[in-house]
Amino acid sequence: MSDLPPSGATEPAASGPPADPAAPPPPAAEPAPGPPGTTGGATPASGASGADPWAGHTGPVPVVPDQPGYDSPQPGAPNPAGQPASGALPGWSAPGDVPPGHTPQGWNAPGTPPHGWNVPPGTPPPGWGGPAYPGHPTPGAAYPVPGAAYPVPAGPGAYAGWFPGIDPQDPLVNPPHAGIGPWFARCTAALRRGWRQLLPIVLLTQVVPAAVIGVLALVFSPEGELATAPDGAPVLPAGFWGQMFAFYGVLLFAGLIFGLLQAAGWAAGTWVVARQAAGEPTGLGAAFRYGLRRALGLWGWTLLVSLLVMIGSCFCLLPGLYAAFALALFGPVYLFERREPIGRAWRMFHSRFGMVLGRVALVMAVLFAATVLDAVVGGISGALFGVEPMTSVGTAVGAVAFAVFGALLAAPAYLAQQVGLVVTYAEQRAQEGPVNAARLAAELG
């Protein structure tokens, strides 16, 4: 027996109003009895008794799976008069009714945005308010369309992944992914803005202590030369060990005392760099007052970091050098945040290892060049005035003059260290969240 309907059953009526596509489908005909031994037909009748619960519904008919009257047609069954299958929404085509190579009705072509998203490619979906963190959408918002551009409302000159509110033209904060060029430009701009205030601060708090320590080293340097015993063994000069302990004791005491002055100078210089970048007035008196307020705390943390570097250097030179690089930002961290400077500096260094290492290496290279230059000046002084220049007035004056000159040659390195570390710290803060020069200046207090 054929399963097809009688001939002419699919012809539409010649007259009468068209069928409402939103109306529920008519009840299915009573199926033919199944073969003996079965309990019923293939599809039970729908709405055989009782009122139709969707009789007054004017919208689309909801799809209710596994309910009588809402089963999809069997595979291969005809679709009379092009009507949607039972259970399909109006305006949508059944999978079997679409010719090959055509897009079903109600579906979008692959690679196009959903219906109602009339946005150009690369723009965020409607309702997107910008991400709170790079690579993560706002809580509750959907992810952007695959292949679309990163949805950051960045202005001219901005880079994908910036936090909202970061100014690419900020004079102090180098934005994320800007590179080493803008970082160097901000360092040089800070020097041009503040050299009139920074140079006196460096001379009084860095150069003068270095010159005094250099002169003290000349005065307390152990005298005498190694002698040779009759058996050929070297003999130390008389009183060598006493002079050696006095030499290092004086240098250590001077370093501790002048370290407090140097800490005040670093704090004052940081205050000048941050406030000038924010466009606020600066003065030497106000800078030194701020430096004195922060000097004791910064001096204490400097002693602890110096101890860690020295311990690392005792095991091997490389661990000490690594500690010096990893903790280089402890000073700005303490001045701006005043909490956990060693831990924060360590995490900043390892969170963005390559970036921080590159910036700090440039600063260290300038300091190393200044150290080499000072050693060259010291070598010239020794060649001119001998290893014991303080034995006569003429050689003493010449040796002291060379010591002061060597300390003056290190002033540019101190300026580079001051500015480079502050700009590096500001750049790392921008990697963690929105920040600008005005906020950093306010954090100094």
- pLDDT tens string 256-287: 999 999 999 999 999 999 999 999 988 999 99
Task: Provide mean pLDDT across the span 33-59.
Answer: 46
Residue appearing with tokens 């500690």: 323
Joined tokens for residue 430: 């921008």
Joined tokens for residue 368: 């190393």
Return d(Cα 271, Cα 280) in angstroms, integer.
Answer: 11
Return d(Cα 151, Cα 135) in angstroms, integer.
Answer: 9
pLDDT in tens, 392-435: 888 889 999 999 999 999 999 999 999 999 999 999 999 998 89
As a whole number of angstroms, the longest Cα–Cα distance in the chain is: 139
Return d(Cα 2, Cα 256) in angstroms, integer.
Answer: 107
Task: Provide mean pLDDT across the span 82-92.
Answer: 46
Q: Which residue has the higher pLDDT, 359 or 29?
A: 359
Return d(Cα 422, Cα 424) in angstroms, integer.
Answer: 5
What is the chain's mean pLDDT, rounded? 74
Range scoring the smallest mean pLDDT among 118-132, 146-160, 359-373: 146-160
- DSSP, collapsed to helix, strand or coil, labels residue 227 as strand
Please name which of 284, 298, 359 lies closest in space to residue 332, comparing C-alpha atoms: 298
Output the pTM of the full model: 0.62
Residue type, 328: A
pLDDT in tens, 308-325: 999 998 888 889 999 999
| CB contact set of 368 (below 8 Å; sequence gap of 6+) | none
CB 349 within 8 A of CB 321: no
pLDDT in tens, 206-234: 999 999 999 998 888 877 666 666 776 77
- DSSP assignment of 12-37 equals PPSSSPPPPTTSPPPPPPPPPP-STT
- Report the pLDDT value the prediction gives residue 18, as an integer from 0 to 100: 47
How many other C-beta atoms lie within 10 A of the C-beta of residue 426? 26
At 191, is the pLDDT very low, low, confident or very high (cuts 50, 70, 90)?
Answer: very high
- DSSP assignment of 89-158 equals PTT---GGGS-TTSPPTT-PPTTSPPTT----TTSPPTT----SBTTBPPTTPPPPPTTPPP-----TT-
- DSSP, collapsed to helix, strand or coil, labels residue 182 as helix
Going from the C-alpha of 201 to that of each of 24, 168, 402, the distances in angstroms are 88, 30, 22
- Report the pLDDT value the prediction gives residue 105, as an integer from 0 to 100: 53
Joined tokens for residue 292: 């004195």
